[in-house]
Structure 1
Amino acid sequence: MILRLILRVLILGMMWIGLGLLNLDADSSRLLWQALIFTGIVLIGSILEHLFHFQGDPYILPVVQAIMAIGLIFVVRINPDVALHQFWWANIGQLIFYVVLWSIRDYRYFGRFRYIWGLLAVGLLLVTLLFGSEQGGATSSFKIAGIGIQPEEFVKLVLLLFMASYLEENEELLRVGTVQWGKISLPDWRTLRPFMIMVAFVLGILAAQKSLGTALVFYMLFVLMLYVVTERKLYLGISLPIFLLTGTVGYMLFRHVRVRVSVWLNPWQDPNGMGYQIAQSLFAIGGGKVLGTGLGNGIGASTVPVAISDFIFSVIAEELGFAGAMAVLVLFLIVVMRAFSISLRAKDRFGQILAAGIGILLGTETLIILAGVTKLLPLTGIPLPWVSYGGSSLIVHFILLGVLLNISNATAVSSHSSKNRGREYAT
């Protein structure tokens, strides 16, 4: 109880110091009220964890709240008006997290609805394709009652549930195979059919939407979950030529893909035009050096395009320096590693696969985003979890966090009950 409160107080202290350094004007009273509500939810939540005897991983939530506090500070730094909405979503997201954490009686129940999750994923993407609006060359969002929704974020959740239930049921057939091709054994078509149909539909619709960044995340999620569960390097070997082939087709079909690849290869050929985004990102990151320019003293917040979402890490690296950027990366690494730790300790196979999938998704998203803003990979235009501006992303990642900690809590409760039964038998 004391440790929980101390961690939360330190995180909140960091947030309020950051807000204080930004010298907000008198018109920011509504934003400060939202920050107070955020503070209340964090503190009350830590007390509720004690009252409801939460026994799951004690570190993931504080680390995520630290990541989110950094994100909120920098959203305020870049655009205080928009930051008000981000605080709203952060507060709503935390409430949803606690609802998910305490309302799920048995997460294994979700494994029964494999095909429903698959159909829901395809349905959400089709709705976006048919009725969505184009942003940044991709059809990825639409508005309901004036609120922008990105269904792709919710597809991450239902795809994870589909994959976990599918892999749990077919793990042995996928691992061993039933059809022999020379020295290679592969699963039969009946086993592979649901997986292949889902991959084709999801990636095909995303390609039609020109949302290739999300397609890359989902493709890596499919491949890595399949490999983690089966431990067959064959699937990694098969996935690589498929990735190169589809990437080549996308390059030939879509102009904005060709532009991004060209900019990735050499942004300096047109630094004031097509290469402006990545060039300014690199200038900002390089300008931060080791310790940064100081919060509020960088120029990247005003010069880097879309700094509030796609390139928020560039602003963090400039104003907090290499040390601050590495600290953020370490926080994400802790979340991913703790997710894998929960996966290893889970008592049932569905929970193990689902927790590992959440860890893979978070790690993949973070890697792709940071590689894009540092020019290691072409730009993808997807948000950094809990940091970038965007309500849909915040809500979905809080739901995923709630599911993950529900698995952790259920595992701890089960272990505690087993130990108590063991003591009773011993006496």
Structure 2
Amino acid sequence: MIQRLTSRSLILGMMWIGLSLLKWGGVKNQLLWQALVFTAIVLIGSLMEQVFHYQGDPYILPAVQAIMALGLVFVVRISPEIALRQFWWANIGLLLFYAVLWMIRDYRQLGKFRYLWGLLAVGLLLVTLLFGSAAGGAKSWLHLGGIGIEPEEFVKLALLLFMATYLEENEELLRVGTVQWGRFSLPDSRTLGPFIIMVAFVLGILAAQKSLGTALVFYMLFVLMLYVVTERSLYLGISLPIFLLTGTLGYMLFRHVRVRVMVWMNPWQDPTGGGYQIAQSLFAIGGGKILGTGLGNGIGASTVPAASTDFIFSVIAEELGFAGAMAVLVLFLIVVMRAFAVSLRAKDRFGQILAAGIGILLGTETLIILAGVTKLLPLTGIPLPWVSYGGSSLIVHFILLGVLLNISNATAVSCRSTKNKGREYAT
């Protein structure tokens, strides 16, 4: 109990120190109240973990809350007005996280709705394609009652649940195969059909929306979950030429993809035009050096386009330096690695696959967005989980976190119950 409160107090203390160093603009009073609400939720949540005897992984939630606190500080640094909305979403997300953690009695019940999750994923994408609005070249937003949401974020949750249920049910057939193709055995059409149909629908709709960054995340999620469950490198081998083919088609069909690739290859050809975004990002990251310019002292917050969303890591790297950037990466690495640890310990196959899928999704998103802002990959326009501004992303990732820790807690409770029964039998 004392250790839990100490860790949360340290995280909140760092957040308040960071906020105290910044200018809050004309929304100081509103921001102060939202920050106090966030503090109260974190502290009361840690007490509720004690009351409800939380026994799951002790490291994932503090790591996420540290990432979240850092993200809130830097959104305030970039734009206090935007940060006010970000605090709202962060507080709602934390409440949803605790609701998912404690109200789902048996996470295995989620596996009973395989085709419902699949239809929900496709339905959300179709609605966005038909009625959505474009931003940054991709048609990925829906506006409801004056609030903009990104259905693609909620599709991540639905796809994870679909994949976990599908892979659990068909694991052996996918691993062994029933149809011989030369030296290789593959599953028959009845087994592989739902998977291929889902992949084709989801990626096809995303291509029609020109949301190719999200398509890349989903494609890697499909392939890596399939590989992790079956342990067949054949699926990785098949996925590579498909990826190269679809990537080439995307380059040929969509102008904004060609622009992004050309900017990625040489942003210095047009550093004040098409290459301005990535050029300013690299200037900011390079200007941070080892220890950074200091919180509030960088220029990237005002010169890097989309600093609060796609490029917030560039601002962090400038003002906290290489040391701060590596600290953020370590926190994400802790979350991803502990998610795989939860997967290995889960008491049933569905829980193992679902926890591994959450770890794969978080790792893939983090890798792609950080590679984009550092010019290792073309820009994709996806948010950095728990850091970038965006309500839809925050809500979905907090729900995923709740599911992950629900699995972890159920596993720990089951193991303790088994040990107690063993002791009873021994006596």
The answer to whether the superposition gives a TM-score over 0.5 is yes
Q: Within 1, Cα distance between the matches of 2:23 and 2:238?
A: 54
How many angstroms apart in 2 are the aligned matches of 1:269 and 1:249? 25
Structure 1 stretches of at least 4 aligned residues deviating more than 2 Å after TM superposition: 23-27
* Paired residue type of 1:403: V
The answer (yes or no) to whether the contact 2:23–2:77 under 8 Å persists in 1 is no
2:25 and 2:80 in contact (8 A); partners too = no
In the other structure, the counterpart of 2:313 is 313
In structure 2, the gaps of 5 or more residues are: none
Aligned match of 1:79: 79
Task: Report SS of the residue matched to 1:228.
Answer: helix
Gaps of 5+ in 1: none
Q: Report if the CA contact (8 A) 2:270-2:276 is conserved.
A: yes
CA distance in 2, matches of 1:202, 1:182: 30
- Residue 25 of structure 1 and its aligned partner are, at CA, apart by 4.5
1:167 aligns with 167
Partner Cα distance (1:99, 1:382) in 2: 26
Match of 1:206 in 2: 206
Q: How many residues of Structure 1 are paired with residues of Structure 2 in the alignment?
A: 427
Deviation at 1:182, TM superposition (A): 1.2
* Percent of paired sites with the same residue: 84
Is structure 2 residue 237 aligned with structure 1 residue 237? yes
Q: Could you tell me how far 1:142 is from its partner in structure 2?
A: 1.2
* Alpha-carbon distance, 1:138 to partner: 0.2
Residues 397 and 27 of structure 1: is their aligned pair in 2 closer, same or farther, counting only changes over 3 Å?
Answer: closer
| Alpha-carbon distance in 2 for matches of 1:226, 1:183 | 20
Separation (CA, whole Å) in 1 of partners of 2:98 and 2:147: 23
Give the distance between the partners of 1:346 and 1:287, measured in 2 at CA: 44
For 1:276, the aligned partner's letter is Y
The two structures have a TM-score, normalised by structure 2, of 0.99
CA distance in 1, matches of 2:57, 2:146: 38
Partner of residue 48, structure 1:
48
Q: What does 1:18-417 align with in structure 2 at a 5 Å threshold?
A: 18-25=18-25, 27-417=27-417
The DSSP-based 3-state class of the residue aligned with 2:402 is helix
Output the amino acid matched with 2:369.
I
Q: Is the 8 A contact 2:77 2:296 kept in 1?
A: yes
Q: Are the aligned partners of 2:27 and 2:80 in contact in 1 as well (CA < 8 Å)?
A: no
Contact 2:339 2:356 in 1 (8 A): yes
Cα shift at 1:26? 6.2
* AA of the residue aligned to 1:320: L
* Superimposed CA distance per residue, residues 188-233 of structure 1 (whole angstroms, 9 cap, x where no aligned partner): 1110000000000000000000000000000000000000000000
* Cα separation, 2, equivalents of 1:322 and 1:299: 16
Give, as a single letter, the amino acid of the residue that structure 1 aligns with 2:58.
P
Q: Give the CA deviation at 1:27.
A: 4.0
C-alpha distance in structure 2 between counterparts of 1:39 and 1:300, whole Å: 28
Contact kept? 2:343, 2:352, Cα under 8 Å: yes
- Distance (Å, rounded) in 2 between the aligned partners of 1:352 and 1:24: 44
1:112 Cα deviation after fit: 1.0
Q: Distance in 1 between matches of 2:28 and 2:165?
A: 47
* d(CA) in 2 for partners of 1:152, 1:24: 32
**Shift, 1:424, TM fit:** 0.6
Give the letter aligned to residue 330 of structure 1.
V
Deviations 1:63-115 (A, max 9, x none): 10000000000000000011000000000000000000001011111111110
Q: CA RMSD in A?
A: 0.6
Question: Which whole-Å CA distance do the structure 1 matches of 2:112 and 2:19 have between them?
Answer: 46
